[in-house]
Amino acid sequence: MFNRVAALLALFFIPCLLVSASEFDSQVRSALEEIAPHPRLLMSEADEQRVRDEIQNHPTKESLFTLIQKHADEILDLEPVERKVTGKRLLSVSREALRRILNLSMTYRMTRNTAYAQRAIVEMETIIQFSDWNPSHFLDVAEMTAALAIGYDWLLPLLTPEQETEIRNAIRDKGIGPSYNGHDGWVFRNNNWNQVCHAGMVMGALAIADEENELALKVITRALEGLPSAIKSYQPDGIYPEGPSYWDYGTTFNILAIAVFESSLHTDFGLVDFPGFRETGSFPLYMTGPTGDHFTFSDCGSRNSAWPAVYWFAKRLEEPALAYADHFWLEKTLAGKSSGKNRVFPLILLWWDGQRPAVPERPLHWKGEGINPIAVHRSSWSDPGAVFLAIKAGTPAANHGHMDIGSFVLEADGKRWALDPMGRGYGDLEARGLTLWNMKQESDRWRIYRYHNSSHNTLTINNEAQLVKGKGSILRFSEDPKNAFTIIDMTEVYAGQLSKALRGFRLLPDGRVLIQDEVCAALEPAELCWAMTTPATMSDASSNTAAVLEQDNERLFMDVLSPSTTSIQYFSTEPKEEWDLETPNIRQVGFQHSLSQVQEERLAVLLTPGSCEAVRADTPALIPLEAW
């Protein structure tokens, strides 16, 4: 029935132009005629029994449910959420509502203890009395609608007729209604707003579809037209341009939309096979190093919890090893060493079979193209002390972008040596009136230290910013274990500062990392700064061009092989402006070098993990990047 729409959705460039609303209308109308009975959002009665059996048969899954029930027990004693807008957002309230209702409803479905259901109903009754769900920032409405939809669908037999009507009307009038009343700028966006908002609306519409069939038809049709605009950003290789933690946000809600289509309408409408989406199932795996943290590029934050979306991909694509790196966080959570209060954390119960994922049988060296191309080199999947090198090209103009072209992170011997300073919250910056979302060269965004290239592991020329409209591309890539390397062209992002800017990264077979830049000054002299942000401290250098970085009794040796006239030093990471955050636990090491007019220069830095100290003195030959 759905072959035609699936094929049309999967077309690469302009799916929305090729599938008319009337064609979607017909497909969706047919699907709605076969809609599953309640509960139908994410979990049917059969799924519920399956999960209950798995909890009884798998001790680790039993531990997972015990933790979820513990969270539900804690919620029993809390006052219901309040409508408290912070800045322009109600989002934290919506997310807490989703966390509470999902934990309570899941615990009820597994135990049949009505105390959990009644407490979730109290939460819903409180929410529907809010004057609105803050439609001016529609993410707030979307997450609140998702929360109400799950509660309504999973607890429907326990609702009184009055409660059922009131909650259903709130989903319709305060959730879906504003999206057709001037608050729909997200429908064709290419970022997480598209995914989150469509998912919330679809979940709400499917929850009340029996009574609001035409509205459900309208909402689902709109989602099928709009979601491809966001999914295209994964193309061609699954990279999420906003970074791994935003991958978790946007992709989780994209999955929620697909999962409720499948559980309610028995089809994914071809969305899983849309080019780029299937590929993104492996993105978190590639981005995660042996420490368990990921490559924190763009506005991404550090990793601190398990991601249910990874388990969905592992199950849906029948590749359990996709959850190998993520399982580290689940085990930490079950051991009480990490938070399990991710608002959709209980969904791991639905998407994980209770078994430990196997070690991945995937390449150690990988690159992905797209808006923000990324390359990764590692020495092992299973060794906790393995070398992990992740490199970013791309453009500052990408959604949530930073001036981080040419930046990298490095792990070895169980430590992260080169780190990204990461993004930060937006509320206080917006309260100051700073323009954060204007991706122009003169935007206030680039006056924030963490967004400027001077805070990242890349080059800064004359203290100037990278060019926002420029793009760094991967010129060459090798996955040969004897000669693994990535070369990127950064010339565009230094236009007017340098006439050439190439950067190469080699992971040598012995575990050392060589970073080699080939640059040429433009028509004016240039003061170049090579910097690496690190949590380590630098001991006294044995020479100007050699230093030892230390953290927790581990060492990384830093040798500047070229130019020989430089001197390794610390650079300040102190706040540059009153709005910049303190960074007491990180520092920058590197060097400066002067270039005369149109002067060409080779910069080469060798980074040797302490475990490889025996080969440090065996200096690799420096050859032009074109000969790598």
Per the CB < 8 A criterion, the answer to whether 19 and 27 are in contact is no
Spatial CA neighbour of 147 closest among 139, 158, 136, 135: 139
pLDDT for 8 equals 44
Instruction: Give the containing element (helix H, strand E) for 324.
Output: helix 324-334
Is residue 559 within a helix (H) or strand (E), and if so which, with residue range? strand 554-562
Residue ranges, the chain, pLDDT below 70: 1-22, 540-542
What pLDDT is recorded for position 428? Answer: 83
pTM: 0.93
Do you find a cis peptide bond into 620, omega within 30 degrees of 0? no
Nearest residue to 370 (alpha-carbon basis) of 491, 269, 247, 252: 247
| 482-527 pLDDT, tens digit each | 999 999 999 999 999 999 999 999 999 999 999 999 999 999 999 9
Q: How far apart are CA 600 and CA 502, in angstroms?
A: 11
- DSSP one-letter code for 493: G
The pLDDT tens digits for 287-329 are: 999 999 999 999 988 888 899 999 999 999 999 999 999 999 9
pLDDT at 12: 36
The DSSP string of 434-486 is: ---S--STT-GGGGSGGGSGGGSSSEEETTPPPPTT--BEEEEEE--TTSEEE
State the Cα torsion 41-46-49-53 to the nearest 10°.
-110
Q: Which of these, 491, 403, 408, lies nearest to 452 by C-alpha position?
A: 403
Pairing of strands 546-551, 554-562: antiparallel
**What crossing angle do the helices spanning 91-111 and 138-155 adopt, rounded to 10°?**
10
- Round to whole Å and give the CA distance between 23 and 488: 44
Instruction: Name all domains of the chain by residue range, CATH numbers in brackets.
Output: 3-351 (1.50.10.100), 365-627 (2.70.98.70)
Give the C-alpha separation, 412 to 129, whole Å: 53
Alpha carbon distance 537, 549 (integer Å)? 5
- Written in H, E and C, the secondary structure of 330-381 is HHHHHCCCCCCCCCCHHHHHHHCCCCCCCCCCCCCEEEECCCCCEEEEECCC
Give dist(CA 218, CA 448) in Å, integer.
42
From CA 297, how far away is CA 244, in angstroms rounded?
8
Helix spans in 89-158 (H): 91-111, 114-127, 138-155
**b/e 497-519 (16+ beta carbons within 10 angstroms → b):** bbbbbbbbbbbbebbbbbbbbbb
Q: At CB < 8 A and 24+ separation, what contacts does 9-14 make?
A: 9/224, 9/228, 9/269, 9/270, 9/271, 9/274, 10/270, 10/273, 10/274, 10/275, 12/235, 12/275
* Cis bond upstream, residue 236 (ω within 30): yes
The amino acid sitting at 465 is A
Helix, strand, coil percentages in the chain from 3-state DSSP, rounded to 5 = 40, 20, 40
Examine residue 39 and say whether the peptide bond preceding it is cis (omega within 30 degrees of 0). yes
Task: Please name which of 169, 215, 214, 269 lies closest in space to residue 254, comparing C-alpha atoms.
Answer: 269
DSSP of 74-94: HHHTSPPP----BTTB-HHHH
Amino acid letter, residue 88: K
Is residue 289 classed as helix, strand or coil in its secondary structure? coil
What distance in Å separates the CA atoms of residue 145 and residue 143, rounded to the nearest whole number?
Answer: 5
